[in-house]
Amino acid sequence: MTSLIQIAAEQKSAEVTDWAARIGWVVGLLLFIAFVYWLMRQGWKWRGSLQSDLPELPAVPEAPGEARLELTGRYHGSTTAGQWLDRIVAHGLGVRSRVELTLTDAGLEVVRPGARDFFVPKAALREARLDKGIAGKVLAEGGLLIVTWTHGDKLIDSGFRSDHAAEQAAWVEAINTMSTPNSTTEGTAR
């Protein structure tokens, strides 16, 4: 019994933590994280200034016509066509958001709550396809609806994901039908 009392008497409490050093490290780490976020923001702004030659996005016309298709889902961003990692951030095209798409005879209306809405005129639509990825988002094959369109002199891919993935195939067919050049009398006397 005396040995237990001796062992208990010999034990000391743990050393007191050096709070000044610990607080210094925590503050230093928080400053480093803030600096990294600041650098990321500066990079985003720099990318936007590099893309400043992109014209303003078209506004939705007052009478866009009757809706052919409607979709709700997510907007995942826009990239330079064919370069799925070259994100376009100018004019808010890089901001992810919820989306309500409406396809009319006039074009594609993109309504984004909390972000900037835009309109893609029928003449600017080039094609649509199902793909697996766009800058910052990769899904299963065919998980994203990619709409290719022209804006200014730039060809753009915009990525959307429907709340109901089965309806994306109908969008591909409808947009590709709309963007197919009709037989016209172009180049002939009128």
Overall size of the chain counted in residues: 190
DSSP 8-state secondary structure symbol assigned to residue 108: E
Q: pLDDT tens for residues 49-75?
A: 777 778 888 877 887 778 889 999 999
| Number of alpha carbons in the 13 Å side-chain half-sphere of residue 29 | 6
Q: State the average pLDDT over residues 113-119.
A: 88
- In this prediction, residue 128 carries a pLDDT of 92
- In this prediction, residue 188 carries a pLDDT of 35
The residues facing 118 across adjacent strands are 110
Q: Is the pLDDT of residue 189 over 60?
A: no
Q: Is the pLDDT of residue 132 over 50?
A: yes
Report the candidate in 165, 163, 98 with the shortest Cα–Cα distance to residue 131: 165
**What distance lies between CA 32 and its chain's CA centroid?**
27
- For residues 137 and 173, the model is more confident at 173
Q: Identify the weakest region by mean pLDDT among 31-45, 83-97, 107-121.
A: 83-97
Q: Give me 99's structure tokens.
A: 């989306």
Do the Cβ atoms of 140 and 58 come closer than 8 Å? no
